[in-house]
């Protein structure tokens, strides 16, 4: 059994996405905001999701020198499942690097 299935990651990801509101107010005409893989795993960690507790690697981030951070794992698994059609109601996207100087994530 995969870690994804063992720890119910899809259900936890769906809970995080369902609660994603960003700075838009109620009734805003835009759909729910996108979350980066880093934002997603920060939320998973803060809610005590089993994958975040038991994965055994750091969340992710620049300079870790790890090729299997939790952010990389979750992004990879989502990508595979979306591409195969196993998950059809969650979208993936890239943030454009055009005019982007830096981006910092923090846990609060």
In the DSSP assignment, the letter for residue 7 is T
- Burial of 70 from C-beta contacts in 10 A (0-12 / 13-18 / 19+): buried
The Cα 80–Cα 101 span in angstroms is 29
pLDDT value, residue 55: 86
Look at the block and give the residue holding tokens 């969340």: 59
Q: Would you give the distance in Å from CA 28 to the centre of its chain?
A: 23
Both tokens assigned to 73: 């794992």
- The model carries a pTM of 0.81
pLDDT value, residue 52: 87
Residue-wise pLDDT tens for the chain (108 aa)? 899 999 999 999 999 998 877 666 667 777 777 888 889 999 999 999 999 888 877 666 556 565 678 888 999 999 999 999 999 999 988 888 899 888 877 776
The Cα 95–Cα 83 span in angstroms is 18
pLDDT value, residue 106: 74
pLDDT value, residue 63: 60
pLDDT value, residue 7: 94
pLDDT value, residue 60: 63
Both tokens assigned to 29: 């005409």
């Amino acid at each position: 059994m995969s870690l994804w299935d063992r720890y119910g990651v899809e259900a936890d990801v769906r809970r995080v996405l369902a609660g994603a509101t960003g700075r838009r107010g109620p009734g805003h005409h835009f759909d729910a905001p996108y979350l980066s893989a880093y934002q997603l795993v920060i939320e998973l960690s803060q809610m005590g999701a089993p994958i975040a507790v038991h994965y055994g690697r750091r969340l992710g981030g620049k300079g870790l020198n790890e090729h299997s951070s939790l952010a990389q794992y979750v992004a990879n698994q989502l990508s595979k499942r979306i591409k195969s059609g196993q998950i059809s109601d969650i979208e993936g996207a890239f943030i454009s690097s055009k005019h982007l100087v830096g981006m910092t994530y923090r846990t609060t």
